[in-house]
């Protein structure tokens, strides 16, 4: 029986079957024709800022253009952290990242952003400067969603920019020289051929970057037995801890798990602050 630190349950689950249904999380769906491509506009109410984020999905364009369950888990944690920081598992990480100063603006990187919901929500709830990233062909939809929520971001002191990032490759000029406090991701572990490139990219930021307190927070829904291979590889470089576990939804045996990754020699630094 594998543990949550290995990625969770031992059974295979098709990733296609766990795309978030529209009726979950109070999402309203609207289908619109867009140059022959059907787009879906989803609305996500963020209680802590009393605002609704609008996110465009393009299901026919592939998995990167759809909302996955782990993204909603991270958004809910970010929303709750703003309302109830004393009990939220993200609070120690955010406190350490801010060096104890609530006025310090956080710089957040999201990798594998997809629709950009997590990064946009992080900017709005934390008042953070967020860079959302994905493969080049995903960038235009990311930019669309950032611009669609620009007024909400501005009203809450946040700002989001978009940049391409190909895991395993040299960091592009859009990201060179930027120091981030926190890296976020959701549902990025699902193809085994991407495990090594993802770990290489994380190593570049967490081990070779200039911020010793930077950590990686990842929400993950177990799908395949081979998911555990990613966690075995990651634990050779990083301390991996479970921050939060969602209860399984009706009809399922598993829920989304949120992990924290930190460079082994730096984990105590984060706890100490």
Residue whose C-alpha is closest to residue 67's, from 88, 43, 36, 51: 43
Q: Phi-psi category of 100—alpha, beta or left, where left has phi over 0 and alpha has psi -120 to 50?
A: left
| Share above pLDDT 90 across residues of the chain, in percent, rounded to a whole number | 58
CA 263 – CA 232 distance, rounded (Å): 15
DSSP per-residue codes, 93-118: HHHHHTTT-TTSPPEEEESS-TT-HH
pLDDT at 212: 77
Residue whose C-alpha is closest to residue 65's, from 145, 1, 123: 145
pLDDT at 16: 40
CA 184 – CA 76 distance, rounded (Å): 14
- Position 122 pLDDT exceeds 50: yes
Higher pLDDT, 80 or 4: 80
Q: What is the pTM of this model?
A: 0.85
pLDDT band with cut points at 50, 70 and 90 for residue 35: low
β-strand pairing of 129-134 with 182-186: unpaired
Q: How confident is the model over 53-87, as pLDDT tens digits?
A: 999 999 888 888 888 889 999 999 999 999 999 99
């Amino acid at each position: 029986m594998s543990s949550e630190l290995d990625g969770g349950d031992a059974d295979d689950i098709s990733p296609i079957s766990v795309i978030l249904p529209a009726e979950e999380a109070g999402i309203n769906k609207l289908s619109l024709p867009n140059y022959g491509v059907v787009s879906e506009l989803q609305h996500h109410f963020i209680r802590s800022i009393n605002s609704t984020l609008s996110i465009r999905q393009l299901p026919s364009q592939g998995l990167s253009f759809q909302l996955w369950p782990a993204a909603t888990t991270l958004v809910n944690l970010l929303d709750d952290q703003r309302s109830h920081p004393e009990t939220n598992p993200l609070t120690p990480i955010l406190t350490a990242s801010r060096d104890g100063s609530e006025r310090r603006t956080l710089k957040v990187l999201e990798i594998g952003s997809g629709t950009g919901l997590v990064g946009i929500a992080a900017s709005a709830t934390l008042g953070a400067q967020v860079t959302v990233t994905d493969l080049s062909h995903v960038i235009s939809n990311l930019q669309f969603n950032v611009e669609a929520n620009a007024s909400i971001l501005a009203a809450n002191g946040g700002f989001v920019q978009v940049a391409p990032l190909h895991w395993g490759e040299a960091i592009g000029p859009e990201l060179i020289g930027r120091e981030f406090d926190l890296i976020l991701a959701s549902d990025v572990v699902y193809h085994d051929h991407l495990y090594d490139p993802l770990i290489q990219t994380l190593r570049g930021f967490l081990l070779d970057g200039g911020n010793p307190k930077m950590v990686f927070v990842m929400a993950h829904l177990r799908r395949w037995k081979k998911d555990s291979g990613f966690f075995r590889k990651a634990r050779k470089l990083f301390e991996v801890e479970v921050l939060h576990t969602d209860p399984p939804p009706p009809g399922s045996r598993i829920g989304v798990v949120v992990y924290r990754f930190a460079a082994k020699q730096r984990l105590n630094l984060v706890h100490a602050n």
